[in-house]
Structure 1
Amino acid sequence: MKCPFCGHTDTQVVETRISEDADFIRRRRQCAACEKRFTTYERPDVSFPAVVKKDGRRIEFERAKLRASMNLALRKRPVSTEQIDGAIERIEEKLLGLGLREIPSHRIGELVMRELKKLDKVAYVRFASVYRSFEDIDEFKTLVDEVRR
């Protein structure tokens, strides 16, 4: 494994842990050259369904895009990285469990909203207001009222 700090290829595994649900392995590594530590994750390489956008384009599912959109909604909110990782894992498990070759982007958006609603109500409202493209304040008010219930 190449060191992300100095590029040296000689790194040692210092600690190995299996996740609670045994879906991935977390390894702490140390570079032999600069002695800095970093974390790597090992998870099975699986094929996610292609994402079908509103305009009909098909793109590859990207975990980084999912994380970025969730992080944007959760910006400055009291939600830990571990909680976000767990939500992303649940979304990915759901996508794989569906067994589809393609999935409409709106279904992924609904999965994200469901996870955000569990994590943080403010983040849920932030995401939903952009995702659902509200046209007026009444739609926004309806969503807020729904969250309050």
Structure 2
Amino acid sequence: MRCPFCHNPDSRVIDSRETDEGATTRRRRSCPGCGRRFTTVEEAVLAVVKRSGVSEPFARGKVVAGVRRACQGRPVDEHQLALLAQQVEDAVRATGCAEIPSHEVGLAILGPLRDLDEVAYLRFASVYRSFSSVADFEKEIAELRAAPARSTARAGDAPPVERDAVDGDQETPATGSPATGTTTRRRAPERPRPADTGSAAGP
């Protein structure tokens, strides 16, 4: 590689290491001409194709900038934004495509942003999906509310109650083994009957 200082057409690598979880490689180079050292960064090319057809390199900074606007006033810090941008890049690179449409990048943002902050998600989705009415927001909010309900198991249900056919017995919760399908029922203790005072003893 050409030296950026003396423009010598040759240089040698003296150190190499991976960064960004292996996504990029940093190489330390030395110029045999002037003796100066410099660093180069190598990474796989990922291009984003805009609606106009123009192609440009994928940039995490643009993802962070777009999401930051949606997160204004929300409890989201820069570290969380950086992690989200990393998730988005990992998702689009996992497709194995050297070029990806810009709307695919938007789709990759929606999932992590929804998990990060639902209000910011609604703001971003309203622009990305071009919400045009209150009904669009209501529909999206309904889906947000329904998602946890579908994924969370029901808990705290009261046990079934059985009623004894005999008059005077109280209702008691039924217990049993779910594995065998059997149930047992506790009956309320019988109350003592009062002594019979209607009959007198004697001749």
Counterparts of 1:18-37 in structure 2 under 5 Å?
23=21
**Residue in structure 2 matching 1:55, options 31, 49, 52:** 52
Q: Given residue 101 of structure 1, which amino acid in structure 2 is its aligned partner?
A: A
Gaps of at least 5 residues in structure 1 are: 1-18, 25-43
State the alpha-carbon separation in 2 of the partners of residues 138 and 117 from structure 1: 19
State the alpha-carbon separation in 1 of the partners of residues 82 and 59 from structure 2: 14
- Asked if structure 2 preserves the Cα contact closer than 8 Å seen for 1:48 and 1:95, the reply is no
Deviations 1:25-59 (A, max 9, x none): xxxxxxxxxxxxxxxxxxx6423421111232222
Question: What SS class does the counterpart of residue 135 from structure 1 fall into?
Answer: coil
Q: Match of 1:93?
A: 90
Q: Given residue 82 of structure 2, which amino acid in structure 1 is its aligned partner?
A: D
State the alpha-carbon separation in 1 of the partners of residues 76 and 101 from structure 2: 28
- Asked if structure 2 preserves the Cα contact closer than 8 Å seen for 1:50 and 1:59, the reply is yes
Q: Given residue 103 of structure 1, which amino acid in structure 2 is its aligned partner?
A: I
Q: Given residue 50 of structure 2, which amino acid in structure 1 is its aligned partner?
A: K
- Which protein is bigger by CA-based radius of gyration? 2
Question: What SS class does the counterpart of residue 111 from structure 1 fall into?
Answer: helix
Q: Report the CA distance between 1:138 and its aligned residue.
A: 1.2
- Asked if structure 1 preserves the Cα contact closer than 8 Å seen for 2:60 and 2:86, the reply is no
Please identify which structure carries the higher helix content: 1
**Residue in structure 1 matching 2:100, options 99, 103, 109:** 103
State the alpha-carbon separation in 1 of the partners of residues 84 and 90 from structure 2: 10
- Asked if structure 1 preserves the Cα contact closer than 8 Å seen for 2:47 and 2:100, the reply is yes
Cα gap change, 1:122/1:114 in structure 2, threshold over 3 Å: closer, same or farther? Answer: same
- Asked if structure 2 preserves the Cα contact closer than 8 Å seen for 1:48 and 1:96, the reply is no
Q: Report the CA distance between 1:82 and its aligned residue.
A: 2.0
How many residue pairs are counted as aligned between the two chains? 110
Cα gap change, 1:124/1:132 in structure 2, threshold over 3 Å: closer, same or farther? Answer: same
Higher relative contact order (CA 8 A, sep 6+): 1
Cα gap change, 1:92/1:45 in structure 2, threshold over 3 Å: closer, same or farther? Answer: farther
Say if 2:134 is the partner of 1:134. Answer: no
Q: Match of 2:117?
A: 120
TM-score by length of 1: 0.66
Cα gap change, 1:76/1:92 in structure 2, threshold over 3 Å: closer, same or farther? Answer: same
TM-score by length of 2: 0.50
State the alpha-carbon separation in 1 of the partners of residues 91 and 58 from structure 2: 13
Q: Given residue 135 of structure 1, which amino acid in structure 2 is its aligned partner?
A: S
Q: Given residue 69 of structure 2, which amino acid in structure 1 is its aligned partner?
A: L
